[in-house]
Amino acid sequence: MLEVSGLDVLLGDYQALWGARLAVERGEMVALLGPNGSGKSTLMNSVSGLLRPRAGAITFEGEPIAGLPAHRIVGRGIAHVLERRRLFPYLSVRQNVWLGGYHAAARGAREAEYQRVAELFPIVAARAGQPAHTLSGGEQQMVAIARGLMARPRLLMIDEPFLGLAPQVVAHLTEAIRRINRDGVTLLFIEQNVELALSIAARGYVLESGRTVVDGRSAELLRSPEVRRIFLGG
């Protein structure tokens, strides 16, 4: 469904990705792992069109998408829930969620889609009129994912959904993400905690200093000495 190969990305003068690669099959749930600063967000931002790669290929459902503007990529069926959620703090929960269904293909179905996401995340309905900044971190994460779903994506990418959340909230969010996946949305998510990520995803890719250094099935990665070296430094 998604294939990234040979990706080089510059952030100003700094090269953040060096030939990075990744592939996601339709229906899968895949984790993108790597230490802080290894280029995970840069890779995801390149897929969603927020960054323009210097070299490499990104194809989605067989079509090249590298370099397309972000709004066109949403229209193709990829939604991106950004690192730190990036809600509009002074817009209401409902307004934030509603904005996710802006592009032409999603607009007509907004009301139905809103009902669907409000059922998946009851917090959306319960706090509909409240400014987004008044919600807890976990609630805000749910609103951000709900906003992403409003675009009716076939691929949903989430950058660090669990960062800073309490264990019960992580469990709750994990359940919701599993359900989204079961309902037919392919998932790619970023997470720095290897055990957590691989307990949720079926497969993972590990970035180190801007390069894809290991990938495989979750059970395999959990046993990998290479993964141990990268995350435990020995």
Ligand X SMILES: Nc1ncnc2c1ncn2[C@@H]1O[C@H](COP(=O)(O)OP(=O)(O)O)[C@@H](O)[C@H]1O
Residues that bind ligand X (CB under 6 A): 11-12, 14, 16, 34, 36-42
One-letter amino acid at 160 equals E
Output 164-173 pairs: Cβ under 8 A, ≥24 positions apart: 164/137, 165/137, 165/138, 165/141, 166/138, 169/136, 169/137, 169/138, 170/196, 172/138, 173/138, 173/141, 173/142, 173/145
Pick from 130, 123, 45: nearest CA to 84 = 45
- What's the min distance (Å) between Cβ of 57 and Mg ion? 22
- What's the min distance (Å) between Cβ of 36 and ligand X? 5
Residue 82 or 87: the one with the smaller Cβ distance to ligand X is 82
Residue 139 or 159: the one with the smaller Cβ distance to Mg ion is 159
DSSP state of 228: H
Residue 8 or 61: the one with the smaller Cβ distance to ligand X is 8
User: Site for Mg ion (CB under 5 A): how many residues?
Assistant: 2
Q: Does 38 bind Mg ion (CB under 5 A)?
A: no
233 contact, one of ligand X, Mg ion, none, CB 5-8 Å limit per kind: none
Q: Does 41 bind Mg ion (CB under 5 A)?
A: yes
Q: Which residues bind Mg ion (CB under 5 A)?
A: 41, 83
